[in-house]
Structure 1
Amino acid sequence: MDYQIKGTTMQSLHITLNQNESIYSETGALLYMTPAIEMETNFSGGLGGMFKRAITGNSLALNNFKATHGTGEVSFSTRMPGHILPIQLDDDIFVQRHSFLCAENSVNLTVVGNLGMTGFFGGNGLIYNKLTGHGTAFISVDGEAIETTLRPNETYLVHPGHLAAYDSNVDFELHRLKGFKNMVFGGDGIFLAKLTGPGKIWLHTLSLHGLAEVLIPFVDRGK
């Protein structure tokens, strides 16, 4: 498998697959594919898996793309202005539900679910997918990407809406904001994600929750 990432603020991912190589993605991410590629939609995990994906806001199914007639190309695009990052899995990675784009079939994708009550108090919530196995996965980071390696015992307090992914070595806790005014009128929810190293984290500068707040007045005005 070879790949190329094109573009600046609205990037696209172009993957060349050799005969019998395959890759899978969330539904709705396809930009184009060549005739050598065949797509098959699969309901991973059966009925229980579909239900879990539905209630956590993920797509019900996953699309698998396989080069069945020689070498072919398949391309994916982001849904938001941002960047596509390749991640070579050495450790398990937790990826925010909107950030997963696609992965090799040697990488397993499972829905972790909602961490505590953060989904209610943390802006657009902390519903994560877990990537395990060995291979390459691609994530979509909204806005600009901030990749940081935390040193042992180094801690970041991150707004949940800006946490794209973190590896399994990072210790994750919920950190409640102090002060009534901060929690009610601060506009950043009640909880922050407390991330303690060692390990790597990926942040995005554009928050879906923040974007929605900016657009709501214009949507209401249009109605």
Structure 2
Amino acid sequence: MEYQIHGSTMQTLEVRLSPGDRLFSETGCLLSMTPGTNMETHAPGGLGGMLRRAFSGNSIMLNYFEATHDVQTVRFTTRMPGHILAIPLRQYGRMIVQRHAFLCAEDSVDFGVEATLNIGRFLGGNGLVFTYLEGEGTGFISVDGEVVHQDLARGEGILVHPGHIAAFTGDVDYRVQRMQGVTNMFFGGDGLYLVRLTGPGRVWLHSVTIHNLAHVLGDYMRSGRE
């Protein structure tokens, strides 16, 4: 499998599949494919997998692509202006990915729901139910806006708004922390909770969130109707 990432602020991913190569993606990410590409849509993991994915907010089904003959090309696009990152899992190991950041991956990559039984984490809002990627292949994620990444030393931590988390390596510990101060919680405009990410490991963050973008656009839409 060979790939290229094109564009600047609204990137696309072009993957060239040789016979025997297989790729899977979330539904709704396909931009184009050559006629010799076979696409199948199904739900891995049976009913249990479907329920876990529905609970996490991901699409229930996945799309699988493979070349029927010769070299075929499949292109994927992002949902927001931003950047596509290739994540070689051989280098990074297990990756935890925010539910909307996953784009596609080689078929050799194991993909599933990273859930937690700690109810406190669910109170943090959007982005606290993640998916995971692990295996020998390459996964691709979509980061909204600019890519902000930070390498955390062992024991080093940062507090992040939940909506800005794109992905982090599996060794990073994540815990919800209540926003300090009643005024901050109810009038600060950044929600009631932050996520504490503690190293060692690497963290990738969105510089833009859909919620903030929708809020800004909503103000313009309302003013246009007045």
Letter in 1 for 2:19: Q
Instruction: Tell me how far apart the structure 2 counterparts of residues 163 and 53 of structure 1 sit (CA, whole Å).
Output: 19
In 2, the alpha carbon distance for the partners of 1:171 and 1:121 equals 15
> For 1:118 and 1:173, how far apart are their aligned partners in 2?
7
Shift of 1:219: 4.5
Corresponding position of 1:116: 119
Q: How does 1:164-179 map to 2 (within 5 A)?
A: 164-179=166-181
Residue 2 of structure 1 pairs with residue 2 of structure 2:
yes
Deviation string, structure 1 residues 104-157 (Cα, Å, up to 9, x no partner): 0111110124763555544x3322111121110000000000121111221111
Aligned Cα RMSD in Å?
1.7
Q: Distance in 1 between matches of 2:82 and 2:10?
A: 6
Residue in 2 that maps onto 1:24: 24
TM-score w.r.t. the length of structure 2 is 0.92
SS where residue 76 of structure 2 aligns?
A: strand
Kindly report which structure 2 residues correspond to 1:1-223, keeping only aligned pairs within 5 A, or say none.
1-90=1-90, 91-113=93-115, 116-122=119-125, 124-220=126-222
Tell me by how many angstroms 1:20 deviates.
1.4
Report if the CA contact (8 A) 2:178-2:194 is conserved: yes
CA distance in 2, matches of 1:54, 1:221: 36
Please report how far the alpha carbon of residue 222 of structure 1 lies from its aligned counterpart in structure 2 after TM superposition.
6.5
- After superposition, the Cα gap between the structure-2 partners of 1:14 and 1:207, relative to the gap in structure 1 and judged at 3 Å, is same
Q: Identity, % of aligned pairs?
A: 51
SS of 1:70's equivalent in the other structure is coil
Structure 2: gaps spanning 5 or more residues: none
* Contact 2:31–2:77 (8 Å) recurs in 1: yes
Distance 1:203 1:61 in 2: 26
Residue 215 (structure 1) shift: 2.3
Query: Per-residue displacement from partner, 1:10-47 (whole Å, max 9, x unpaired)?
Result: 00000111111110000010011112210000111212
CA–CA distance in 2 between the matches of 1:222 and 1:50?
41
Structure 1 residue 52: deviation in Å? Answer: 2.2
Distance 1:118 1:212, change over 3 A: farther
Runs of 4+ with deviation above 3 angstroms: 113-122, 217-223
Find the residue that maps to 2:119 and give its secondary structure: coil
Asked if the contact 2:110–2:134 (Cα under 8 Å) also holds between the matched residues in 1, the reply is yes
Tell me the SS of whatever aligns to 1:217.
Answer: helix
SS in structure 2 at match of 1:183: helix
